[in-house]
């Protein structure tokens, strides 16, 4: 259970740090010139690549099940818990920056916020996709 918790928290933390770093560029440099939605669209491939790599690191580091392959349910739970932790971290940062809960919610339902939520759902699916690719990939003919 501790390994699972550490894996989920590490995955969320790595994604949060990557998103924070990219936001430092996106908000002051891109948004004023192209608008928030286009800025998130420009940022999207970078955050997805960083999230994919973070997931690989976490799954390797924590073994995500040790010698036993991580089940699809376990991978889904890891992604779901990481998503919940990521959203809570974003909410906490928003509140620390002086925004209200209402303002946080309004930002989430704006077009750029909805796109961001969609990207976060993709982030949550990465443990499942990587587990399937690693442990459930078809065996090539003649390799048995």
Helix (H, G, I), strand (E, B) or coil at 138: coil
Is there a domain that residue 86 lies in?
Answer: yes
Is there a domain that residue 47 lies in?
Answer: yes
Domain tally, the chain: 1
On the question of pLDDT at 40 being above 70, the answer is yes
Using 50, 70 and 90 to split pLDDT, how confident is the model at 141? low
Indicate the average pLDDT of the chain: 91
Alpha-carbon torsion (104, 41, 21, 7), positive or negative: positive
Query: In the structure encoding, which two tokens stand for residue 5, read together?
Result: 């918790």
Write the CB contacts of 31 (distance below 8 Å, at least 6 apart in sequence): 39
pLDDT score at 89 = 97
Is there a domain that residue 143 lies in?
Answer: no
What is the pTM for the complete model shown?
0.88
Which domain does 111 fall in, by range? 2-135
Give the pLDDT mean for 27-51: 97
Using 50, 70 and 90 to split pLDDT, how confident is the model at 9? very high
10-37 per-position pLDDT tens digit: 999 999 999 999 999 999 999 999 999 9
């Amino acid at each position: 259970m501790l390994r699972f918790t550490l894996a989920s928290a590490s995955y969320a933390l790595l994604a949060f740090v990557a998103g924070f770093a990219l936001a430092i560029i996106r908000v002051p440099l891109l948004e004023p010139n192209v608008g928030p939605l286009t800025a998130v669209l420009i940022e999207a491939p970078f955050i997805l690549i960083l999230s994919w790599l973070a997931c690989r690191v976490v799954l390797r580091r924590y073994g995500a099940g040790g010698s036993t392959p991580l089940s699809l349910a376990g991978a889904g739970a890891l992604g779901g818990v990481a998503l919940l932790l990521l959203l809570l971290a974003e909410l906490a940062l928003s509140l620390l920056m002086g925004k209200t809960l209402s303002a946080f919610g309004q930002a989430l339902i704006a077009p750029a916020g909805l796109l961001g939520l969609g990207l976060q759902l993709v982030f949550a699916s990465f443990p499942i996709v990587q587990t399937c690719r690693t442990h459930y990939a078809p065996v090539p003919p003649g390799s048995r």
